[in-house]
């Protein structure tokens, strides 16, 4: 773009040109623009000089646009509309917006959170596009670089990773959607069910089991494993999978124990014959959080979606 050339053009002349193209008459155009015919003629001469084209020829029936002017007539309306939009204060109308937004979500949130807000969002903003991606190692960088609008992920609320602004990269803001806890799933008739009934389900018996684990951000260890490692203890993880439904399937057809957020349990039990049992020791809860960049704090579209997600999830949690 040649900004030097553009800076020498009076953009008001484009409005005058648009009206002249519509009226094809200096007299009628001057009336619409509340200008004298002399002032309008001077503006037309400036347009001709700037655009290096006569633009109109005079005929007995008024002004006849040149070929270049006819080409501009096709482009000017959308250009002037865009310029008009630039002069307006920021706004967002969900019912008419056709904007695109992107969100990265940790895999368990697809089943536990997406159903809470996707219906109200698309009902109120039927023409927007929401692109959803899995939470990955580069998702936080995507938020920082503006490649993602939002993210939903889980954060373990251990003593050394409480939800504080200091824990997040500079510029990233967050809102807690809800707090969850870890629980265990086992297949029907699993031997540990008898231990639970007998009151023998303890940390030691938990560690004596074989486990299935979901990888998060490519990592096989969760905060739970680091918590155990600090006590010189470790789970025997036999199988790792990339998603929760896959891990639930393995759990349902083996003796492996699956430790997971409690909010996902009901979804797994709808598909597989699984029994839930408590985690047999105290461990800090986790939080599902909504993340975004602070540059979008006051942007109306972002603000509307953030509030809708937070309110929809809150209402859904109250019903459960």
* Residue position matching structure tokens 């109120």: 124
In the chain, what are the helix, strand and coil shares in percent, each to the nearest 5?
45, 25, 30
Sort 38 into a burial class: Cβ within 10 Å, 0-12 / 13-18 / 19+. exposed
Measured distance CA(134)–CA(243) in Å, rounded: 10
Same structural domain, 291 and 160: yes
Residue 122 shares a structural domain with residue 155: yes
pLDDT tens sequence across 204-258:
999 999 999 998 766 778 889 989 999 999 999 999 998 899 999 999 999 999 9
Q: E-strand spans in 36-117?
A: 56-59, 62-65, 100-105
User: Which pairing describes strands 286-293 and 150-156: parallel, antiparallel, or unpaired?
Assistant: antiparallel
Residue 139 lies in a domain: yes
Q: Do 140 and 194 belong together in one domain?
A: no
Rg (CA), the chain: 31
Same domain, 279 and 186: yes
Residue 251 phi, psi (nearest 5) = -60, -40
State the DSSP code for 219.
B
Say if residues 65 and 24 touch (Cβ distance below 8 Å): yes
Question: Of all helices (H) and strands (E), which one includes residue 175?
Answer: strand 172-180
Global pTM? 0.67
165: confidence class by pLDDT, cuts 50, 70, 90? very low
Mean pLDDT of the chain: 88
Whether residue 94 is contained in a domain is answered as no
At 157, the pLDDT band (50, 70, 90 cuts) reads confident
Number of domains in the chain: 3
Q: State whether residue 294 is helix, strand or coil.
A: helix
Residue at 217 is within a domain: yes
Does any domain span residue 198?
A: yes
303 has a pLDDT exceeding 60: yes
How far, in Å, CA of 274 to CA of 221, rounded? 23
Q: Is residue 92 part of a domain?
A: no
Mark whether 105 and 169 lie in a shared domain: yes
* Residue 314 placed within a domain: yes
Give the model's confidence band at 291: pLDDT under 50 very low, under 70 low, under 90 confident, else very high.
very high
User: What CATH number should be reported for the domain holding residue 111?
Assistant: 3.40.190.10
Within this chain, do residues 170 and 204 fall inside the same structural domain, yes or no? no
- The domain that holds 15 is classified in CATH as 1.10.10.10
Same domain? 144 vs 165: yes
Asked if residue 161 is part of any domain, the answer here is yes
CB 56 within 8 A of CB 64: yes
> Could you tell me if 172 and 189 lie in one domain?
no
Question: pLDDT tens-digit profile of 42-98?
Answer: 999 999 988 899 999 999 888 999 999 999 988 888 888 777 667 766 788 999 998
Whether residues 168 and 291 share a domain: the answer is: yes
Which residue, 64, 87, 110, sits at the end of a domain?
A: 87
Q: Based on the domain organization, do 48 and 169 belong to the same domain? A: no
Residue 14: CB partners within 8 Å, gap ≥ 6?
76, 79, 80, 83
Domain boundary, last residue among 87, 109, 124: 87
Which residue range forms the structural domain that includes residue 10? 3-87
Q: List, for residues 173-197, the tens digit of each pLDDT value.
A: 999 999 999 999 999 999 999 999 9
Nearest 5°: phi and psi at 8? -90, -5
Contact 184, 138 (CB under 8 A): no
Q: Is residue 164 part of a domain?
A: yes
DSSP codes, 19-30: HHHHH--HHHHH
């Amino acid at each position: 773009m040649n900004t030097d050339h553009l800076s020498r053009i009076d953009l008001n002349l484009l409005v005058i040109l648009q009206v002249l193209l519509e009226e094809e008459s200096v007299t009628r155009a001057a009336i619409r623009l509340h200008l004298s015919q002399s002032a309008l003629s001077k503006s037309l001469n400036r347009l001709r000089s700037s655009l290096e084209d006569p633009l109109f020829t005079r005929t007995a029936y008024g002004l006849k646009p040149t070929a270049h002017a006819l080409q501009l007539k096709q482009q000017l309306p959308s250009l002037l509309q865009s310029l008009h939009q630039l002069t307006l204060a920021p706004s967002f109308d969900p019912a008419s917006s056709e904007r695109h937004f992107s969100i990265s979500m940790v895999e368990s949130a697809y089943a536990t959170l997406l159903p809470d807000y996707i219906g109200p969002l698309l009902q109120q903003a039927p023409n927007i596009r929401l692109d959803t991606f899995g939470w990955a190692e580069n998702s936080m960088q995507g938020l920082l670089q503006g490649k993602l609008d939002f993210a939903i992920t889980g954060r373990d609320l251990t003593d050394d990773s409480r939800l504080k602004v200091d824990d997040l990269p500079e510029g990233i803001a967050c809102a807690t959607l809800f707090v969850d806890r870890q629980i265990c799933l086992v297949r029907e008739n699993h031997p540990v069910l008898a231990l639970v009934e007998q009151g023998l389900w303890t940390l030691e018996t938990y560690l004596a089991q074989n486990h299935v684990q979901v990888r998060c951000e490519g990592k096989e260890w969760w905060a739970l494993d680091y918590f155990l490692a600090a006590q010189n203890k470790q789970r025997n993880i036999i199988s790792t999978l990339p998603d929760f439904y896959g891990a639930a399937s393995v759990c349902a057809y083996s003796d492996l124990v699956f430790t997971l957020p409690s909010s996902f349990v009901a979804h797994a039990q709808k598909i597989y014959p699984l029994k839930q049992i408590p985690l047999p020791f105290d461990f800090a809860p986790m939080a599902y959080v909504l993340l975004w960049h602070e540059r979008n704090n006051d942007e109306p579209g972002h603000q509307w979606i953030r509030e809708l997600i937070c309110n929809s999830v809150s209402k859904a949690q109250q019903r459960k």
